[in-house]
Amino acid sequence: MTEASGPLSDLLVLDLTRALAGPHAAMMLGDMGARVIKVEPPTGDDTRSWGPPFVGPEDDRQSTYFLSANRNKESLVLDLKAEADRDVLARLVERADVLMENYRVGVLDRLGFSVERLHELNPRLVVLSITGFGHDGPEAKRAGYDQIAQGEGGLMSITGTTQPTKVGVPIADLIAGMNGAYGVLAALHERERTGAGRVVRTSLLAGMVGVHAFQGTKWTVAGEVPGLAGDHHPSIAPYGMFATQTAPIQIACGSEGLWRALCGALGWDAAEEGLATNPERVAHRDLLVTRLEALFADQPAEHWLALLSDAGVPSGKVRSMDDVYAWDQVRSQGLLLQVDHPTLGEIDIPGSPLRFDDNPFSGGRSTHVAPPTLGQHDAAIRAWLDED
């Protein structure tokens, strides 16, 4: 593995996770330069078989799902039911700064790596444990799957137009991964003062409840149960998606000044009775949306986007994925990386959402590395362990 620069380049992370929440957390640290060793069972991470689509030669097909969550990692195969391989993991733990796991509650203990054992091997180790519904409580032993967590955590109840709808990506997994990563960084910062590692815990359920934002306080404070939000903001109008002659556009009038700017661009009276204030517009949203779409039906989307842009009204397209990755603004932000995969050759993959001011690449690394094939780094890692 090529040594990388970056703000976390002095850290060693052991990624014992699979699927998405844990791998995403580990990838975030790898993007910032950490050395991440992905410990996989002989069958590999579950997502290596999740598809279609699969790409590459017929005898070595690669899952694009796996490719999305495992850049900047090394792959080491260990069978943790075998004593020799458990010994290898113990030697890795002694050297590591972080260990991430998302087994069901109690599984790691049964494999001989309880928290107590991990800290006996390495008192400075920071352990991240991601579960489906929390490590304790009456439903701690439930398996964690994204769509179930989206439903149980309330997110689906406010997503959709006519019935509850899941988000188009595994958002419960992704948010749990992000929460885990920033919890790890907090524990590493604390370790600088105390010299000791600690356990950081989060869950898919916690991630879902943690992003309720104003929809949560709508119930906890105001006593109102939020319903399906659809394509329009429940507390601001106009703020949402509108049909035009050719394609939908989105408008965000987040202030009274922007409402006046919109009305000026459209030749409307901003002080019209029933629409003069945001609470009034929210109360009459259906009427407002109907009036706007009746007007927008006369011209293509590009006409309205240009008009709104000139007026300073926030607006935008609803882009397809191919359009997003072709967009020069996305490319200018380092959000598309080209990496050299051992069987696929040069491939483009999404990049880190973070940039540091002395590096044009996303994540802060000087170079990014393709997701590994299963066991790609077995020999190199075992040789490294035997050096001392």
Q: Are residues 112 and 37 part of one domain?
A: yes
Query: Per-residue pLDDT averaged across 262-271, rounded?
Result: 97
**165 and 40 in one domain?**
yes
For 145-180, the DSSP string reads -HHHHHHHTTGGGGSSSSS----SS-HHHHHHHHHH
Structural domain includes residue 51:
yes
Let me know whether 313 and 333 are in one domain. no
- Quick one: 309 and 177 in the same domain? no
* Catalytic positions, written as ranges: 233
Q: What is the pLDDT, as a whole number, of residue 360?
A: 66
**CATH code (residue 159):** 3.40.50.10540
- 115 and 19 inside one domain: yes
Average pLDDT of the residues in 283-287: 95
pLDDT in tens, 358-370: 776 677 788 899 9
Q: In a 3-state reduction of DSSP, which class is residue 192?
A: helix
Nearest to 385 by CA among 12, 116, 124: 12
Over residues 1-13, the mean pLDDT reads: 83
Query: Same domain for 111 and 197?
Result: yes
Residues 48 and 136 occupy one common structural domain: yes
Give 287-297 pLDDT, tens digit per residue: 999 999 999 99
Integer Cα distance of 383 and 300 in angstroms:
62
Same domain, 300 and 194: no
- Cβ count within 10 A of residue 297: 12
227 located within any domain: no
- Residues 52, 193, single domain; the answer is yes
Q: In this structure, what token pair is assigned to residue 131?
A: 């579960």
- How confident is the model over 82-96, as a mean pLDDT? 97
At 321, the pLDDT band (50, 70, 90 cuts) reads very high
Identify the domain boundary among 289, 317, 345.
Answer: 317
Both 296 and 353 in a single domain?
A: no
| Domain edge (last residue) among 265, 285, 317 | 317
List the structure tokens of 313: 């009204």
Residues 309 and 338 in one domain: no
Q: Where are the alpha helices (DSSP H) in 195-268?
A: 204-210, 214-220, 256-266
Q: Does any domain span residue 67?
A: yes
Residue 36 lies in a domain: yes
Q: Partners of 101 in the beta sheet?
A: 129
280 phi and psi, to 5 degrees?
A: -65, -40
Range of the domain at 265: 249-317
Nearest to 325 by CA among 353, 349, 357: 349
CB 298 within 8 A of CB 245: yes
Give the tens place of pLDDT for each residue, 208-251: 999 999 999 999 999 999 999 999 999 999 999 999 999 999 99
pLDDT at residue 2 above 60? no
> Looking at 274, 297, 317, which one is the last position of a domain?
317
Q: Considering the domain boundaries, does residue 367 fall inside one?
A: yes
The domain tally of the chain equals 2
For the chain, percent of residues with pLDDT exceeding 90: 93
Q: What is the pLDDT of residue 42?
A: 97
* Higher-pLDDT residue of 3, 353: 353
Q: Does residue 217 lie in a domain region? A: no
pLDDT tens for 153-181 read: 999 999 999 999 999 999 999 999 999 99
* 342 vs 332: CA distance, rounded Å: 27
Closest by alpha carbon to 230, among 158, 337, 335, 316? 158
**Residue at 324 is within a domain:** no
- 96 and 166 housed in the same domain: yes
pLDDT number for residue 309: 97
> pLDDT at position 365, please?
85
pLDDT score at 313: 97
Q: Considering only CA atoms, which of 36, 39, 41 is closest in space to residue 73?
A: 36
Which pLDDT score, from 0 to 100, does residue 364 have?
Answer: 79
In this structure, is residue 352 part of a structural domain?
yes
